[in-house]
Structure 1
């Protein structure tokens, strides 16, 4: 039996939206019945019913509150273990459910997100989940003011891309399915899309997708770009390019390390090491175009990594050729849009070792 078969499946968890929904439903129930359901059962968007245990509950003036500890399963989510509290008060007749950002929940300050500037960062699907949950208690309608808070949310938000998206003061209440799938790429790709939306709504004409912090710092300095123009695409260049094909900007820069840009040059749109392998032999073929000797090219083919092959070539134009071929693959993926494309290749120290365009004046 292989080690993969012996490894237990990763445990799924719950989104902040699901936790906020459960807390809000329990608090609303107390206002209507004098009872805090514990555990409290909610309905996910796929109509599955799940239950949450309360970590605490109580009354404060004419409001009721309930608290849930977020369990993100085996996903390395910064909000795993966070305390999510919903405080619910009765609203004016006919107003429906309204939402407020409590301590640790952010407020939107830039256009381009699903909600307008000034709105609490409680996303549309969690809003619908909360509204539905309250109406399960009062089917005739729910006129309620729901305030969501996350303990230490402002500090936790600094570990996310919220500040770059213009969400200030805390975290977002997220979730489209209510379930956290461990190591899912969907959340990251959604963040890429929202970053593009914000950049477009802000009128930016040039954005840069980077594979990591080193390449991002390099491209930011190279072009003097604002933070809102920086898209942390990670390994998901394909997810970024497919979205840009439908939501174009005039100018796109892609920046990344030698191995990942070599993968892109070979036509790979998923740059993760576990899903695609960079081929030192392909780098040797590029080197042949530059007149690198057959002896050196053979050593490149025997290299254990693309970085080793690049170093063995020791040719000043190889980085530029990687950038050019990566840019060609990018343009083909973006077609038929006419987005201007350039590529920057960096080493591990953040030095530029290849690019398709000269440094701007």
Structure 2
């Protein structure tokens, strides 16, 4: 049985609550309660250290505990610097300090997203008197170095980690226990809808909501796309829109249906193959193959389009999207227990700025039913 832990925003919130407690009582606290909001439960978080820096400022430290999830932030310190502030403005001002990433597509705004903002605002506001106001700065001392080991930069977040997610519970996305939870969610939604949208991660879920897709039709798959497709077909789901970051979703075009990089990658091989089939020159194919990331390869194709007036991005990615659709349906048919026709699949690929690169022909048809 895998032990669940908590997400990074929970520990950031706990540190802030502990620092605020010192400001009010001038006493340290060993454990604080955090209302997770989602799910509806309270977490008891141990505090490693609390220090008063002045009469108006305090610092508290917790350490991340994601449970048995293979999370690179495990045991990393999370600091919160809390200080009183006067004047107009919000009751709780939240800032990102050292180690919190910056969003390139939002003028360098701190990568502290919706759930983390809500968690901090609600837990701290209820501890303040009506006239009191505070500024909270979240600091991840190891955030900058840890970010170099993530794909954050592929989503336009630089210089640190994100406080991202929709829940306080840390989810081990590649564990069999997590697949069981995803399948349960799929069964519940398949009982209500004939058409569903599969999203690999939080970026896809967030973007899908932004463009108007019904949240009740969104299903998170993490890396378990193959088993989730087969189960959807067994449940009689008629249509699935695969909605994901191009660096992940393109693996399906190569027949890779468990997308964790520890099991299989193949992105540069897949992208280079489709560039070759589209007629790209040998030197440019070599550049694509040597690109360190899928995003860098896409940038090169976009540069070619901008400087030569070509349409390589559309040609290459349209072919990849069509292959994702066909390979997905082949995968379903090869594992299906149904005698009737397999579930129809369409695909939408987006880039690091959460801008859609391409929709397959089937995806264009499905989008009208989902938005």
Summarize the Cα distance change of 1:130–1:328 in structure 2 as closer, same or farther, 3 Å threshold. closer
Match in the other structure for 2:6: 14
Summarize the Cα distance change of 1:195–1:128 in structure 2 as closer, same or farther, 3 Å threshold. closer
Match in the other structure for 1:215: 266
> Among 54, 57, 60, which residue is 1:63 paired with?
57
Query: Is residue 89 from structure 1 mapped to residue 83 from structure 2 by the alignment?
Result: yes
Counterparts of 2:104 and 2:346, CA distance in 1: 35
Deviation at 1:326, TM superposition (A): 12
Match in the other structure for 1:272: none
Contact 2:165 2:202 in 1 (8 A): no
> Among 1, 20, 31, which residue is 2:23 paired with?
31
Match in the other structure for 1:74: 68
Gaps of 5+ in 2: 183-198, 211-244, 252-258, 276-287, 299-313, 348-359
1:239-267, Cα deviation, whole Å (9 max, x unpaired): xxxxxxxxxx9954548x9xx99962425
Match in the other structure for 2:93: 98
Summarize the Cα distance change of 1:140–1:338 in structure 2 as closer, same or farther, 3 Å threshold. closer
Summarize the Cα distance change of 1:139–1:50 in structure 2 as closer, same or farther, 3 Å threshold. farther
- Counterparts in 2 of 1:179-218, with a 5 A limit? 179-183=169-173, 184=178, 188-193=200-205, 209-211=249-251, 214-218=265-269
Summarize the Cα distance change of 1:335–1:166 in structure 2 as closer, same or farther, 3 Å threshold. closer
Counterparts of 1:24 and 1:135, CA distance in 2: 11
Deviation at 1:136, TM superposition (A): 2.5
Query: Is residue 48 from structure 1 mapped to residue 13 from structure 2 by the alignment?
Result: no
Contact 2:104 2:156 in 1 (8 A): yes
What's the TM-score once normalised by structure 1's chain length? 0.58
- Counterparts in 2 of 1:331-350, with a 5 A limit? 334-336=363-365
Summarize the Cα distance change of 1:144–1:268 in structure 2 as closer, same or farther, 3 Å threshold. farther
1:270-290, Cα deviation, whole Å (9 max, x unpaired): xxxxxx9599xxxxxxxxxxx
Contact 2:345 2:363 in 1 (8 A): no
- Counterparts in 2 of 1:246-325, with a 5 A limit? 251-252=317-318, 254=320, 264-268=328-332
Summarize the Cα distance change of 1:154–1:278 in structure 2 as closer, same or farther, 3 Å threshold. farther
Summarize the Cα distance change of 1:197–1:136 in structure 2 as closer, same or farther, 3 Å threshold. closer
Match in the other structure for 2:125: 135
Contact 1:79 1:156 in 2 (8 A): yes
Deviation at 1:106, TM superposition (A): 0.6
Summarize the Cα distance change of 1:64–1:100 in structure 2 as closer, same or farther, 3 Å threshold. same
Contact 1:210 1:230 in 2 (8 A): no
Deviation at 1:152, TM superposition (A): 1.4
1:100-125, Cα deviation, whole Å (9 max, x unpaired): 22221111112xxxxx3321111121
Contact 2:22 2:50 in 1 (8 A): no
Summarize the Cα distance change of 1:197–1:128 in structure 2 as closer, same or farther, 3 Å threshold. closer
1:317-356, Cα deviation, whole Å (9 max, x unpaired): xxxxxxxx999875575251599xxxxxxxxxxxxxxxxx
SS at match of 1:154: helix
Counterparts of 1:21 and 1:88, CA distance in 2: 11
Task: Give the aligned length.
Answer: 249
CA RMSD, 1 decimal? 4.1
Counterparts of 2:344 and 2:2, CA distance in 1: 37
Summarize the Cα distance change of 1:93–1:329 in structure 2 as closer, same or farther, 3 Å threshold. closer
Contact 2:97 2:138 in 1 (8 A): yes
Summarize the Cα distance change of 1:74–1:118 in structure 2 as closer, same or farther, 3 Å threshold. same
Contact 2:325 2:345 in 1 (8 A): no
SS at match of 2:122: helix
Counterparts of 1:38 and 1:230, CA distance in 2: 49
Counterparts of 2:117 and 2:367, CA distance in 1: 38
1:60-89, Cα deviation, whole Å (9 max, x unpaired): 244211111111011111111111111111
What's the TM-score once normalised by structure 2's chain length? 0.56
Larger Rg: 1
